[in-house]
Amino acid sequence: MKLFAGISFLAGLVLSATYKDSPGSRDVDVTTKLRTHSISAPYVDQELNNRWWDFGGSTIIDANNHIRLTQDKQSERGWIWSRLPITVSSYQVEFEFKVGGRNNHMYGDGFAMWLTQGRNKEGEVFGSVNNFYGLGVFFDTYANSRHSYPFPRISAMLGDGRTLYDTSTDGQDQSLDGCSLKFRKAEVTPKARFSYLKSKYIKLEVQTKKWGEWEECFMVEDVQLPLHPYLGFSSITGEIADNHDIISVDTNEIAERGVNHRAQEKMRNTKKAKSKTFFKTIVNFITYSFVLALFAVIAKIAHSVWKQKQAKRF
């Protein structure tokens, strides 16, 4: 028993060390909520608009339940896009979604989350245009060709504006990474959490079995996303169909854990204060110089007038 305990202890140390050295073990701190890139019920105002998001295509807003990108009908395309780009350098997008329909055997095609340089137009890649510049994360429920892995499948592609996503092979050759996960008709309403730490990594975690139980789908290091991307979601159905719903989106600015954010903020505020002080000093100097010059001119004029009066007296 002692030998077993010792072996277990050593194994634990090895696993612990491995976990600490693993890129996937990096944690982040959520710093600021980005309300401009978050959305939840009732989704629209009294005029059926949203200040920060646009909707289009087949999208239907159910104010109490979801944003339905496509219904369980053939040949639909729907999308939502943020009106503004994300301006922070590192961020996390957590969204709740639901995929399902009447058919338990033939269904599709899936939906995508986008972080692209511009707001994409409608197209054949999960309802959005091909040749995109930025990141697409695809929640694919229908295999267009044979693969060594099962479907549903989640994968990511970094588009350069030229390379095409090959729908006939489900983007296999263009994929950065991915995982097979049963997110369609999951045990709980699924959630996905995408994290981007600038110039370091992208990571996707998914919750499908229990609330608060996250599975890492993929993590890719040394990825550079476009500066100030737009956030969007889109979906498509063809001959087969499904309901594709976005229930909520929660976007936050993040920073790598261990960094003293308060100290950084204090430093930024100090720099701003110094800049304001310097600017104020310059303005004050110019103002005082102008006032002194004005007084000097007035004094000179007054002295000239006085001399003229003195000359007339004599």
C-alpha span between 186 and 207 (Å, rounded): 9
Average pLDDT rounded to a whole number, residues 47-71: 97
Q: Is the pLDDT of residue 8 over 50?
A: no
What percent of the chain stands above pLDDT 90?
A: 70
262-288 pLDDT, tens per residue? 555 555 566 556 666 666 777 777 877
Average of per-residue pLDDT across 92-97: 98
The pLDDT, as a whole number, for residue 199 is 86
Statement: residue 1 has pLDDT above 80: no
Predicted local distance difference test score (pLDDT) of residue 4: 38
Predicted pLDDT of residue 13: 39
Average pLDDT over residues 165-189: 96
Q: How many Cβ atoms from other residues are within 10 Å of residue 260's Cβ?
A: 10
> Tell me, what's the pLDDT at 7?
39
DSSP 211: T
Which band of pLDDT confidence, cut at 50, 70 and 90, is reported for residue 300?
A: confident
Output the CATH code of domain 22-259: 2.60.120.200
Distance CA 152, CA 109 (A): 10
pLDDT score at 267: 57
Give the pLDDT score at 294.
Answer: 80
Of 192-196, 245-249, 297-301, the range with the lowest mean pLDDT is 297-301
Summarize pLDDT for 71-87 with one digit per residue, the tens: 999 999 999 999 999 99
How much is the pLDDT for 20? 35
Please check whether residue 187 is in contact with residue 210, taking contact to mean a CB–CB distance below 8 angstroms.
Answer: yes
Region 146-161: mean pLDDT is: 97
Q: What b/e readout covers 102-133, taking b as 16+ CB neighbours within 10 angstroms?
A: eeeeebbbbbbbbbbbbbbeebebbbbbeebb
First to last CA, the chain: 125
Enter the tokens of residue 77.
């395309």
Sheet holding 110-116, edge to edge: 53-57, 77-82, 230-236, 110-116, 133-140, 153-160, 177-180
pLDDT at 194: 99
Percent of the chain residues topping a pLDDT of 70: 82
97 CB neighbour count, 10 Å cutoff: 25
Give the range among 19-33, 234-248, 293-307 with minimum mean pLDDT. Answer: 19-33
Query: Does position 14 have pLDDT exceeding 50, yes or no?
Result: no
What predicted TM-score, i.e. pTM, was given to this entire model? 0.76
Q: Quick check: 91 pLDDT over 90?
A: yes
What's the pLDDT tens digit per position in 103-142?
988 999 999 999 999 999 999 999 999 999 999 999 999 9
- Please give the pLDDT value at position 291: 74
Q: What is the residue extent of each domain of the chain?
A: 22-259, 261-307
310 pLDDT more than 50: yes
Mean pLDDT of the 41-50 span:
95
Question: For residue 67, is pLDDT > 70?
Answer: yes
